[in-house]
Chains A and B, each alone.
Chain A
C-alpha cells in the first residue's frame, strides 16, 4: 500500500474528529493532528484506536506518543502492515 492510499484511509479515520475542514481538504504528510486539523486532544486516543481497528494492528504507547502528525502515523502504520 503506498502513501497516497494510506493517507486516504487515514482521512476517513480522522474526518469525524476534525475541526478545521480547510486544513483537512489540504491534508498531506506534514499535517499535524492537533495544530492543523485541530482535533481535540481527548479524541486523539480515539484516532489511535480507530487506526488499530482499520489496519488490524496494535500500537504501543511509545509509538502512540509519536503519532501527532500524518507523516509519523504513516511510518508507524507502514511498519506494521
Chain B
C-alpha cells in the first residue's frame, strides 16, 4: 500500500488561501491540528498539510478500497518534523509520510516501504509503460488500470501491482513499491506509444 502527492502552490491556491483562510482551515483541519500549529498556518504550511493528508488518503484508499470522498479532516497529522510527518487514519492506524519542499512544490509519499519514483512531463496513466525483466530480457507493455474505487494498478503474472500516481500541471509521478522490482528481478521504464 502506498500513496503519493505532488502539489504546486500556484497563484490560484495562494489567492484561495488568502481569501478565506479561516474557513479553509475549519474544513480541512481538526482542532488538535490547529493546536499543533498554534492556530497559525502560513499559506505554505496549509498546502503542505493538505499534501500530506492527500498522500495518507491515497494509502488508505488502496488499503480499504473506499470510493472517492472529500474529508481531509479524517486524516489527522499528529506529528511533523522538517522531512516527515505521522498521520492518524480513520482506522486508527498511524502512518509515516515523508516529504520534500522546493520552490513552492511539495512532494510527499508514504514512508513504510521503499518506493521507486518515476517523474516525467510525459508519463500518464493513459499510456502503457514497459516492464523490463532481467531474466527473460523481454519487454512487456503494461497499462495502468483503475479499480472500481479508483485505485491505480497494473496487471502482471495474474497479480495486481498497486501504484500511486500524482500529477500537478504537466508534472506527473508514478511510484512503485521497491519490493515489486525485487520480486521479479525487474526494472521499469516508461515509454510513450
Contacts and interface: CB of A to CB of B under 8 A. Distances in A.
B69 A66 contact: yes
A7 interface: no
Chain A interface size band reads: 20 to 34
Given A35-B150, A42-B47, A42-B50, A48 B69 contact: no
Chain B interface size band reads: 20 to 34
Contacts of B72: 45
A67 B73 CA distance: 15
A35 B68 contact: yes
Given A61-B73, A65-B69, A65-B70, A45 B24 contact: yes
Contacts of B70: 41, 44-45, 48, 64-65, 67-68
A32 B68 contact: yes
Of B16, B54, B67, the most chain A CB neighbours within 10 A belong to B16
A54 interface: no
A7 to B, nearest CB: 19
Contact of B68 (A46, A52, A68): A68
B110 to A, nearest CB: 16
Contact of A64 (B13, B16, B54, B71): B71
Interface string A60-81: 0110111110000000000000
A49 interface: yes
Contacts of A6: none
A46 B18 CA distance: 12
Nearest to A67: B70
Interface in B81-116: none
Interface of A: 32, 34-35, 40-46, 48-49, 52, 61-62, 64-68
22 contacts: A34-B68, A34-B150, A40-B168, A41-B54, A41-B70, A42-B50, A42-B54, A43-B12, A43-B16, A44-B70, A45-B24, A45-B27, A45-B28, A46-B16, A49-B20, A62-B71, A64-B27, A64-B71, A65-B71, A67-B70, A68-B67, A68-B68
Interface of B: 7, 12-13, 16, 20, 23-24, 27-28, 47, 50, 54, 67-74, 150, 168
